[in-house]
Amino acid sequence: MKLLRFGERGQETPGALDAQGRIRDLSSVVGDIDGSVLGDAALAKLRGVDLASLPLVAEGVRIGPCVGRVGKFICIGLNYADHAAESNLPVPSEPVVFNKWTSAIIGPNDDVEIPRGSTKSDWEVELGVVIGKPTKYIGVEQALDHVAGYCVINDVSEREWQIERGGTWDKGKGFDTFGPLGPWLVTRDEVPDPQKLALWLEVDGHRYQNGNTSTMIFSVAQVISYLSKCMSLQPGDVISTGTPPGVGMGVKPVPVFLKAGQTMRLGIEGLGEQQQKTVAA
């Protein structure tokens, strides 16, 4: 299934894509696409719904973040060796963990705000993982059973605040609008191997990132297992699993950063595409 949320910001309605790729209104079935409906039993019930019997949503409606009421927005840094190299940082021996604040979450096609005074805002296409059931001290072999589904994430980053202003990376990662999620939450039954997905990103039509999740240092299963030893993971928590090379900071000989008035377009094989315009905050 491809689940989504549509409508005005803060008032999104649950929906699903039918066999023709049209949006159907799920509000008569569930209240929202959030942790309460992401367990295996709840998803199985949703699969049994005849989508053709549900109201068709008008084309052109705004698509919201694919998950509502996100509890934790956890990110993994430097999870592709070639991205670590372009960042002039060593390949990590354990996952690098940081957070994005949930106030950063926006829809996949909403505007991204360039922070006031920023000269080093950057892009990062990433595979998002949405947890479906409570997870603590889980082994690698069982980890994927705790996944509800997958989505596209743009881990927008302000590099000065991330690297040059002291403290943790979180400051540069959590600005408002720096966490577009979606368009769809694609349930795990439609993604047989999350380590075989092509992902890409363009700015103003120029392809900067072209990678594959097969080159991750720590697999999705390893990341989930590792995090479950640091914290309990709850249904609806979102994990952003790292970006392949091609970020603006790594462009040689002169880094390239975002400014207001540009367009980012990005996607992951089977998970859909995003497109954001950059605007001044």
* Mean of all residue pLDDT scores within the chain: 97
pTM: 0.97
Kindly state whether residue 241 falls inside one of the protein's structural domains: yes
For residue 90, pLDDT over 90 is answered with: no
Determine the pLDDT at residue 87. Answer: 81
pLDDT band at 114 (very low <50, low <70, confident <90, very high): very high
State the CB neighbour count (10 A cutoff) for residue 47: 12
CB distance 23 to 56 below 8 Å = yes
Kindly state whether residue 12 falls inside one of the protein's structural domains: no
Determine the pLDDT at residue 9. Answer: 96
Kindly state whether residue 59 falls inside one of the protein's structural domains: no
Determine the pLDDT at residue 144. Answer: 98
* Tokens at 122, concatenated: 């950057």
pLDDT band at 274 (very low <50, low <70, confident <90, very high): very high
* Tokens at 113, concatenated: 């705000």
N-term to C-term CA, the chain: 36
Kindly state whether residue 8 falls inside one of the protein's structural domains: no
Kindly state whether residue 60 falls inside one of the protein's structural domains: no
Q: For residue 42, what is the DSSP state?
A: H
How do residues 234-264 score in pLDDT, each as one tens digit?
999 999 999 999 999 999 999 999 999 999 9
Share of the chain above pLDDT 90, in %: 95
pLDDT band at 149 (very low <50, low <70, confident <90, very high): very high
Kindly state whether residue 107 falls inside one of the protein's structural domains: yes
* Tokens 């497109």 sit on residue: 275
Contacts for 35-42: CB closer than 8 Å, 24+ residues apart: 35/69, 35/71, 35/131, 35/234, 35/235, 35/236, 35/237, 36/235, 36/236, 38/130, 38/131, 38/132, 38/133, 38/148, 38/149, 38/235, 38/236, 39/132, 39/133, 39/148, 39/235, 40/132, 40/133
Q: Give mean pLDDT, residues 269-274.
A: 98
Determine the pLDDT at residue 88. Answer: 80
How do residues 190-241 score in pLDDT, each as one tens digit?
999 999 999 999 999 999 999 999 999 999 999 999 999 999 999 999 999 9
- Expressed as residue numbers, the domain containing 155 is 67-280
Structurally, the chain folds into a number of domains equal to: 1
Determine the pLDDT at residue 82. Answer: 80
Determine the pLDDT at residue 124. Answer: 98
The CATH number given to whatever domain includes residue 159 is 3.90.850.10
Kindly state whether residue 78 falls inside one of the protein's structural domains: yes
Kindly state whether residue 94 falls inside one of the protein's structural domains: yes
For residue 89, pLDDT over 90 is answered with: no
Determine the pLDDT at residue 91. Answer: 86
pLDDT band at 81 (very low <50, low <70, confident <90, very high): confident
